[in-house]
Amino acid sequence: MGKVTVNQGFVVRKANDAEVITVPMPSSPGPNEVLLRTLSVGICGSDIHYWHLGQCATFIVKEPIILGHETSAIVEAIGSNVKHLKPGDRVVTEPAVPCESCEYCRGGKYNLCLDIKCHATPPYHGTLTNYFLHHANYTFKVPDHVSNEEAAMIEPLSVAVHSCKRSNVTVGSKVLITGAGPIGIYTLMAAKAYGATKVVLTDINEDRLKLAREVGADETILVTKEQSEEQLVEHIRTLFDGDLPNISIECSGAPTCSRLVLLATKSGGTAIQVGMGPPNVNLPIADAAIREVTILGAFRYKDCFPIAIDLAASGKLQLKKLASHRFDFKDSLKAFETAKSGIGMKVVINVSE
């Protein structure tokens, strides 16, 4: 590790109590590990929840943890069994490492592993730190022409890839996406890459819808309090030329949108819940059942990082447009305050060059 003797991390202790402090330096990598130096980290909604509320869903901050999981890094050292990476490689990290031996892992659904360990999910530390160790099997090299900031977007882009794969977005698909935040925009890009013929996004923020149109949305809907569910469904029907989308992807976490995707999906189509909102929502289940709408959930991703890297490397996705704010590592708290304000789109912290 050379002459570096100090490691720092953005640590949250409890709700509204976080700062950059000195943290322990990682040990040398084990046989299947890599030692990484962090380059850039994007701020996710879950990070904001841990910082501002001290918890996200059922995961509670009970002891100090380092935040961050949308990461680009550079390899500093490798374990004895690592063959596909070498010091100096730029990489991205899939933050959730499963046990690789349970029923779910053996069955190809490792994202559902009950013993999974994920960056910045209590009690596990994240990557908003100078140095960290990671399992080599979940560390992927990125092409030279993909920037550090773009590489840090591979993780949320993988969420979008997983939702499109799981809902079978393909050539000719007509897709509704509710929520034009980062995940909604990444999902728009992924859906287009998978061949969707038409993609419509809804949101309550016109600035975000404007960006959605700039990066490929065919149509957008600015949702207002004055509109009823019935009016929204009819508006959506109009934008799909008198029909309804065969696939609806909920990316906002808002209960109203969880209802809307069921009501606005074509009979026989698929509605998938990606956004994380309240644990209980009143849904029009009878209507969905009568019309045989398939209802799916999506959790993180599995086998999606290589695809997301290829998409980013293709140059067909306008990822750079999503990085609206950039901060130095020392200003991490200010970065989190900016992200929480809802200004812009994706806030990126550049830890090192």
Verify that 141 and 211 share a domain, yes or no: no
Verify that 134 and 70 share a domain, yes or no: yes
Residue percentage of the chain with pLDDT more than 90: 94
Answer whether residue 280 is part of any domain. yes
Answer whether residue 187 is part of any domain. yes
Is 67 within 8 Å of 120 (Cβ atoms)?
A: yes
Verify that 135 and 174 share a domain, yes or no: no
Q: What CATH number is associated with residue 199?
A: 3.40.50.720
Identify the pLDDT of residue 322.
95
Q: Which structural domain range is residue 148 located in?
A: 7-152+318-350
- The three-state (H, E, C) secondary structure of the chain, written as one string: CCCCCCEEEEEEEECCEEEEEEECCCCCCCCCEEEEEEEEEECCHHHHHHHHHCEECCEECCCCEECCCEEEEEEEEECCCCCCCCCCCEEEECCEECCCCCHHHHCCCHHHCCCCEECCCCCCCCCCECEEEEEHHHEEECCCCCCHHHHHCHHHHHHHHHHHHHCCCCCCCEEEEECCCHHHHHHHHHHHHCCCCEEEEEECCHHHHHHHHHCCCCEEEECCCCCCHHHHHHHHHHHCCCCCCCEEEECCCCHHHHHHHHHCCCCCCEEEECCCCCCCCCCCHHHHHHCCCEEEECCCCCCCHHHHHHHHHHCCCCHHHHEEEEEEHHHHHHHHHHHHHCCCCEEEEECCC
- Number of domains the chain contains: 2
Verify that 23 and 138 share a domain, yes or no: yes
Verify that 13 and 147 share a domain, yes or no: yes
Verify that 92 and 187 share a domain, yes or no: no
Verify that 55 and 81 share a domain, yes or no: yes
pLDDT per residue as tens, the chain (353 positions): 444 578 999 999 999 999 999 999 999 999 999 999 999 999 998 999 999 999 987 889 999 999 999 999 999 999 999 999 999 999 999 999 999 999 999 999 999 999 999 999 999 999 999 999 999 999 999 999 999 999 999 999 999 999 999 999 999 999 999 999 999 999 999 999 999 999 999 999 999 999 999 999 999 999 999 999 999 999 999 999 999 999 999 999 999 999 999 999 999 999 999 998 888 999 999 999 999 999 999 999 999 999 999 999 999 999 999 999 999 999 999 999 999 998 889 999 999 97
Verify that 191 and 328 share a domain, yes or no: no
Query: What's the pTM?
Result: 0.94
Verify that 171 and 79 share a domain, yes or no: no
Answer whether residue 175 is part of any domain. yes
Verify that 69 and 147 share a domain, yes or no: yes
Torsion of CA 153, 155, 156, 160, to 10 degrees: 120
Verify that 39 and 169 share a domain, yes or no: no
